[in-house]
Amino acid sequence: MVSKTKELCPRCAQGKLVTDNESGEMFCSKCGFVITEKLQEAGPEWRSFTQDEGGNKARAGAPTSLTMHDMGLATIINPVNKDASGRPLTASMKSTIERLRTWDSRSQVHEPVDRNFRQAFSELNRLKDKLAISDAVIEKAAYIYRKALEKGLVRGRSISALMASALYAACRDTATPRNLKDVEEAANIKRKDIARCYRLLVKELDLKMPVTDSIQCVARIASRIGIAEKTKRYAVKVLKLAQENEVSAGKDPMGLAAAALYLSCVKNGEDKTQRDIAEAANVTEVTIRNRYKGLKESLDL
């Protein structure tokens, strides 16, 4: 396919310039003088069928992500056996390119760091599905793990345990209501191992972890055992009063939310036992009784 332009040939000043889109050459239609042998792609850098949320043309290609071992910036040798001009490769060059493709695929996981990232991020994707966590939290967990690897904290420690602790730290940092027991069950790793790695990350990376808000835990517990909206609202009201009176300071957020829900169930006549709420919140019945007693005495409910 060729296309003509209105520009005249700089050599003969008579013929018009013609562009061969297949070979990329620009030459004169009269004297045949070649102006350029290869043209850069002048088309748009987006695909015509790709659109963003606003209906505008979007850039093509997957976005970069910290959850990929190479951040999504890997290069691959084109599987089409053609050169830049679109001509088929010779037999000898085709053999050389095939050999290069093989070594390119092998070299991508040659570095120990890449192998480490591949194992860690495959574990992270598994935990994401089990715990139903958003992409923002996963990106944060991958960022924390990369920082830990830079500091040499992974050496001599379990990759799975450190990845699980990085995910727990990301949940704490983004105020996502997931506790250590949830991560322990999903990762199938002992709680004390995850806690040990978490303390190491907080200390070595100087992470400032916000305290989990107990109000955010209410909806999670209530949805597991089907508590009414009215009861949930009263439990939130109780927790807000506890925060204003500084009763919640130093208490486990999940245990406090479970106690507030039990208090609300008693107040609104909803038939839920301490055991039901304790199982939904992953806390003990003793914790609920102690927090329930503390809330009643402190808030005069």
Distance separating alpha carbons of residues 256 and 242, to the nearest angstrom? 10
197 labeled part of a ligand binding site: no
Token code pair at residue 236:
């939130």
Distance separating alpha carbons of residues 112 and 168, to the nearest angstrom? 25
**Which residue bears the tokens 């406090």?**
256
Q: Is the separation of the CB atoms in 36 and 25 below 8 Å?
A: yes
Distance separating alpha carbons of residues 212 and 119, to the nearest angstrom? 29
Helix H or strand E segment including 8: strand 2-8
Burial of 178 (0-12, 13-18, 19+ CB in 10 A): buried
CB atoms within 10 A of CB 33: 14
265 labeled part of a ligand binding site: no
DSSP class of 249: T
* 3 state SS for 96-155: HHHHHHHHHHHHCCCCHHHHHHHHHHHHHHHHHHHHCCCHHHHHHHHHHHHHHHHCCCCC
Tell how far CA 16 is from the center of its chain: 54
Q: Residues for the chain: how many in total?
A: 301
Distance separating alpha carbons of residues 179 and 168, to the nearest angstrom? 7
9 labeled part of a ligand binding site: yes
Distance separating alpha carbons of residues 44 and 39, to the nearest angstrom? 15
Binding residues for Zn(2+): 9, 12, 28, 31
Binding residues: 9, 12, 28, 31
